[in-house]
Amino acid sequence: MLEVGKKAPAINLLDAEGKRRSLKEFSGKKVILYFYPKDNTSGCTAEACDFRDALPNFSKAEAVVIGVSPDSVESHKKFAAKYELPFILLSDESKTILEKYGVWQEKSMYGKKYMGVVRTTVLVDEKGIVRKIYPKVKVTGHVDEVLKDMKEI
């Protein structure tokens, strides 16, 4: 189970360009890991664009933004190009990392139960320690909240 104050689980996934990425490569920087359900859906697009628009502020805080979903590398590539997303999108088709971070959960819509990503953001400090977890994120105002909290890490 993911806990504040503990080491963030290792990540080893492909990005939108097919390059293997790990959390270790961002040692010395703060990392905003945001887990989202699906490319090109209204909520996920709004969240991605909010992070995109706030990226200069995250960069000033020496923070890296990384989006993670179960979509394919190709889907991420198209999504990033369509919305000019300048940050890393990681593909977790196997759901290994989604499960490690506890965001692959049973969901319910219109009375039907299914497995999916519960929109969650995790702030990781320069040493790889989880500093804050935002479970069941509501998109509106979320990026502003994360920016505010970044100053306290």
- Give the active site residues: 44
Query: Which residues are bridge partners to 88 per DSSP?
Result: 66
Contacts of 69 (CB under 8 A, 6+ apart): 35, 36, 37, 38, 39, 44, 76, 89, 90, 91, 92, 117
CB 98 within 8 A of CB 104: yes
CB 30 within 8 A of CB 62: yes
Distance between CA atoms of residues 18 and 117, nearest Å: 22
